[in-house]
Structure 1
Amino acid sequence: MKLQKTYILLLSICFINSCIAAHKSILQEIENHTIGEITFVKDVIPPKDYSKKDILSSFDLKDCKDLNIRFFLDKPLVHYLQKLDTNLPAEELLAKGNFQFSFYVDNTLIYKENLNQGAGTIAEKSTATVFRKPFISSTNEDSWGRFLWMRFMKRGGGEESLTEGSHSLKIEIRPYLETPGIITGNIIAKGEITVNVIKPKVIEEQIKVQPIAANSGWIISENKYDTQKIKELNKKILQEDFKDITSIVVIKNQKLLLEEYFNGADRTTLHDTRSVGKSFASTLLGIAIEDKYIKDENQTLHTFYTLKNFKNYSPEKETITIKNLLMMRSGIDGDDSNPDSPGNEENMYPTPNWLQFALDQPMSKESTNDKKWSYYTAGTIILGDILNKKVPDGLEKYAHKKLFAPLGIQNYQWEYTPQKIANTAGGLRMSSLDYAKYGQLYKNNGVWNKNQILPKKWVQTSLAPQIGLPHTKDEFYGYLFWNKKYTINDISYEVSYCSGNGGNKIFIFKDLPLVIVITAVAYNKPNEVDKIMKEYLLPAIID
């Protein structure tokens, strides 16, 4: 075994050295002073055409459509990782290490991130000495560079630090290794640029609280709130500090307190709230169980499907319950946060049969009777198919008769699976006021206009913090609903909510008479809803 490990290590070193030699020709084309530098460029330029005239000394953040960094190393990343631990072979170094980025604004460290080990290919980190990565891309280029920039700006303090005016932005790159503590090497590349921040001009008339028009379908609330806070929020949205927000609706004590629209949306807009639609699958299952079309949430998959007809059959798959799928604890090897997961939703969408895809997936190797939580969009397709099979006239007509019509919701749009079944994975479009009705139904423990549309027990079970989420201390999951707390003025308020890509939320507060709907189109971008809630909306409307 020792000889085998030594052989692997020697092969790794030989491979790296040969790659370094192969890159000498590239390095010879780059002037010596660029080694160890990060440069900023607008366009995507092939290395052979790259020259000093392409390097930016400054850029205007507001008007910037494309911004790339190109950095030059003396040797590939794996070489620097070997300096941090000389005993590990190359493949293990790359599995435990990567680049560390530090962002300085006006010489103050604002954000530091150790790139996930999966960022970048093994070949790139073993051989490349010249890297080009987008920070801002008009084509939304799929790259760790773009997502790193968004995390710096949205979560790492970048937007707060880059206030209106000119600032210096300095970036340093180091190697890091997790062993399991973090070891960091010396700076291997650094660069600096001037950022000119230009905010859109807004006038007082634009940031005023928007008046609620007639015929909303809601009684208008006479509750007071902090209009100045709302004006500050409106200004942030109009100046694009909070990007891509399309609507905010607040219901307080079952009355309409606030209704505002942005970025071309209005009361008639049907918003694509993505995975908010998953929660509706939970609602319809609760109604179907009450109507006795489905026995209960403890029914197992083998009740509905001959699982041996699908790929990767195992006896354990027979034991998966509706409840497991509602709680994202099926044990199936599907994780939408992991691009390498076979059951990742992006692998499902191109297939001709989403149900087949969902049931074909293997069980996770880590799966046990106490299955771990893993966000598995394809699992909600199974739930939708079960509903479609068991309720009269299919899922779509049943949803209209038993949920939408009683709530007075007439104008909405489903998306569909390839089998033309209403898509319970997401994409159900409604107006903001109708989403508010759905949230208020849960706030009312399933009652609407004195009619018990949804069983009270189902509502309480669905919204309850049933399972703690990984990598968080105080966030939970119920039956296709999320759960957490917001702390305002040292008081914590529990809230359950629907959540969809882009910043779409329906909040149902437990101990406050509040339902809040926020819609947005910031798809695949870090959203700023938590900041909107904690710093503006809740302080403005909590008594």
Structure 2
Amino acid sequence: MRHAFRTLAVTIALAAALPAAAGTYRPPTRADDGWPVADAGTLGWNTAKLATLEDKVADGSYKKITSVLVADHGRLVYEHYFNGGSPELLNDVRSASKSLTAMLVGAAIQRGAIPNVEAPVYTFFPDIHIEHPDPRRAAITLEDLLTMSSILECDDENPFSSGNEERMYVSERWLDFALNLPIRGYAPWVSRPKDSPYGRTFSYCTAGSFIAGAAVERATKKPLAAFAHEALEEPLGISKVKWNVSSEGIGMGGGGTRYRTRDLAKLGRLVADGGRWNGKAVLPSGWVHAMLTPHAQARDDADYGYLWWQFRFPIHGVETKVWAMSGNGGNYVFVLPERELVAVITSQAYNQGYAHPQSQAIFRDIVLGAIP
């Protein structure tokens, strides 16, 4: 049986990796992984548009892309690997892992390990010494961390920020570092929460996502990777994955998790279908709805749910809101629930300025440009 599975996996890898002739399209290959496949052409997709992706990667228009996969109504309709990518490659999706942490918080609430999203953060860590106690810390909730809007002074986009993630990575104890961050202030050009959309001031903070993952560990009394396997991966048939840990051994809920492309698509499909996989509930539909509801304005062109981004893209000339897991290098899982669309783009353009615009262009121009 294992030999047959390995043979099938090799067949998929070879079929997906073989170069296609310019302007051609071929449907994904079916495997024993829970994914149905379909011919995009029979579903009304512009397959000539989809096929231009291979040409643009080949001529260097798109760089360092390793895979692109599209699922339509729970069926794979496009799958291709590039630049050393393969069906078995564990893609380092960096901060796209944060969206997984949000799912795990929901799973922990479902199991009663965490009371609700308003749970005070510091109550999970009574053993951590706080060097500068402040009564305002007691009011910080998990929701504040999930929406990147806590009062901790933490901004990964500001190298001067006390909570910049690079400072955390070089510390001996990440959790002590994160929980001891000072209370933030508001420069004259920064809107205070009461003046901000949704009543929250957004500040991108990996340390906050790390705290949220650590809270799940404390609440469930399991390593984050073990709880993720129990709550998400095993129900989805995901067997190959790598989770990172901090220097003191706490699961890294802020980034660096590695998944195969088809498994990333399963996570997207789970969310697109309201917490169900193949008709079976894995996450509460109410949590998925809350997760995919704007709670903060991240930028002028993007809102933020619970560790999920909401972007706006044109579909047939109509501006449409699309949710996404997003990580350094241009790694994305795009989800459009109302059309039951999932698109995965993996890329190794880490720390390159073109990475995110490039992956968003692939989604906008190729995937949405070809949608029925």
Q: What's the TM-score, normalizing by structure 2?
A: 0.86
Whichever of the two has the greater Rg, that structure is: 1
Q: Residues 468-479 of structure 1: matches in 2 within 5 Å?
A: 468-470=297-299, 472=300, 474-479=301-306
Deviation, structure 1 residue 307: 8.6
1:424 is matched with 253
SS in 1 for 2:338: coil
Q: Where do residues 205-354 of structure 1 align in structure 2 (5 Å cutoff)?
A: 205=21, 208-209=24-25, 211-215=27-31, 217=33, 218-224=35-41, 225-306=45-126, 309-354=129-174
Q: Which runs of 5+ in 2 are unaligned?
A: 1-18, 187-191
Do residues 440 (structure 1) and 269 (structure 2) align?
yes
Distance 2:361 2:200 in 1: 33
Work out whether residues 311 and 361 of structure 1, in 8 Å CA contact, stay in contact via their aligned partners in 2: no
Aligned residue for 1:507, secondary structure, equals: strand
In structure 2, the partner of 1:533 is 363
Aligned counterpart for 2:282 among listed residues 435, 438, 453: 453
Q: Structure 1's 489 and 368: CA in aligned 2 closer, same or farther, altered over 3 A? A: closer
Q: What secondary structure sits across from 2:324 in the alignment?
A: strand
User: In structure 1, what residue type is equivalent to 2:338?
Assistant: D
1:236-278 deviation line (CA, Å, top 9, x unaligned): 1111211110000100011010010000111111100000111
**What is the distance in 2 between the residues matched to 1:304 and 1:346?**
24
Matching residue's letter, 1:321: T
Which of 208-217 and 442-451 deviates more?
A: 208-217
Structure 1, unmatched stretches of 5+, are 1-202
Please state which structure has a larger fraction of its residues in strand: 1
Amino acid in structure 1 at the alignment position of 2:316 = N
| Equivalent position of 2:337 in the other structure | 510
Distance apart, 1:395 and its partner CA: 2.3
Which amino acid counterpart does residue 435 of structure 1 have in structure 2?
L
Given the superposition, is the C-alpha separation of residues 205 and 329 from structure 1 closer, same or farther in structure 2, using an over 3 Å criterion? same
Identity rate of aligned residues, in percent? 34
Please say if residues 273 and 340 of structure 2, whose CA atoms lie closer than 8 Å, have aligned partners that are also in contact: no
CA contact 1:307–1:313 (8 Å) conserved in 2:
no
Q: Which residue of 2 aligns with 1:125?
A: none
Query: Which one-letter code corresponds to 2:324 in the other structure?
Result: Y
Instruction: Tell me which of the two structures has the higher relative contact order, counting C-alpha pairs closer than 8 angstroms and 6 or more residues apart.
Output: 2
**Equivalent in the alignment of 1:197:** none
Read off the aligned partner of 1:453 and give its amino acid letter: V
Number of residue pairs matched by the alignment: 338
Q: What is the alpha-carbon distance in structure 1 between the residues aligned to residue 234 and residue 128 of structure 2?
A: 39
Return the letter of the residue paired with 2:363: M
- Structure 1: how far apart are the matches of 2:201 and 2:235? 37
In structure 2, the CA distance between the partners of 1:448 and 1:477, relative to structure 1 (3 Å rule), is same
- Tell me if the contact between 2:27 and 2:39 (Cα under 8 Å) persists in the aligned partners: no
Asked if 1 retains the 8 angstrom alpha-carbon contact of 2:223 and 2:251, the reply is no
Hey, what does 1:359 align to over in structure 2? 179
Q: CA RMSD in A?
A: 1.9
Task: Please state how far the C-alpha of 1:316 moved relative to its aligned partner.
Answer: 1.1
Aligned counterparts of 1:302 and 1:414: Cα–Cα separation in 2: 24
Deviation at 1:216, TM superposition (A): 5.6
Following the alignment from structure 1 to structure 2, what is the Cα–Cα distance between the partners of residues 295 and 536?
43
Question: Structure 1: how far apart are the matches of 2:27 and 2:249?
Answer: 40
SS of match in other structure, 1:469: strand
**1:183 corresponds to:** none
Helix, strand or coil for the counterpart of 2:211? helix
Normalised to the residue count of structure 1, the TM-score between the two structures is 0.60
Residues 507, 515 of structure 1: 8 Å contact kept? yes
How many angstroms apart in 1 are the aligned matches of 2:239 and 2:215? 25
* Equivalent position of 1:191 in the other structure: none
Moved over 3 A (4+): 206-211, 367-371
